[in-house]
Amino acid sequence: MLAVVDSQTKWKIKTNETCSLQVHIGVKEHELMNLVCGWCAFENVFVLFVPPFRIKNYHCPFLTETEGFKIDKLLEFRKEYPHATKEQIATDFFTAHDKHLAFNFYTPYQTVEFRLHHSTLYESH
């Protein structure tokens, strides 16, 4: 980690409101539906932990604010297809496979990506 910080200082790397802290967590596909439902159920709570400029940020839209999204429809789908694939979830509930969502479950890897929090190079942020 120190090597990363040192290289950021050496190369004068800057961050702004378009940058985010990105965390990938490995998820098996049969676990994905529960994770997507859990995120959607609590996304409005997670928003309380970010600075105002991250809310309604073009570079970090919220999954539950994608066009046509309905949580009750998603939960009903989960009952019928508890082990739905990411393709099924994305096609049935989300209009775009946007990698810039605050919670990106549609990665090319067996991971989900959390992008909600802003990036910083300073401890005080």
In a domain, 64, yes or no: yes
In a domain, 6, yes or no: no
Residues of the chain with pLDDT under 70: 1-13, 17, 94-98, 119-125
Amino acid in position 122 = Y
| Closest of 57, 120, 68 to residue 94, by C-alpha | 68
Q: What is the pLDDT of residues 34-45, one digit of tens each?
A: 999 999 999 989
Cβ neighbours, 10 Å, residue 43: 17
In a domain, 9, yes or no: no
Instruction: Output the pLDDT for position 53.
Output: 79
Instruction: Output the pLDDT for position 32.
Output: 92
Cβ neighbours, 10 Å, residue 96: 12
In a domain, 68, yes or no: yes
Tally of domains in the chain: 1
Instruction: Output the pLDDT for position 34.
Output: 94
Q: Please answer whether residues 111 and 26 qualify as being in contact, where contact means their C-beta atoms are separated by less than 8 angstroms.
A: yes
Instruction: Output the pLDDT for position 42.
Output: 93
In a domain, 120, yes or no: no
Instruction: Output the pLDDT for position 80.
Output: 93
In a domain, 2, yes or no: no
Instruction: Output the pLDDT for position 19.
Output: 73
In a domain, 5, yes or no: no
Instruction: Output the pLDDT for position 77.
Output: 92
Instruction: Output the pLDDT for position 59.
Output: 74
Instruction: Output the pLDDT for position 125.
Output: 45
Domain span at 92: 19-114
Instruction: Output the pLDDT for position 3.
Output: 63
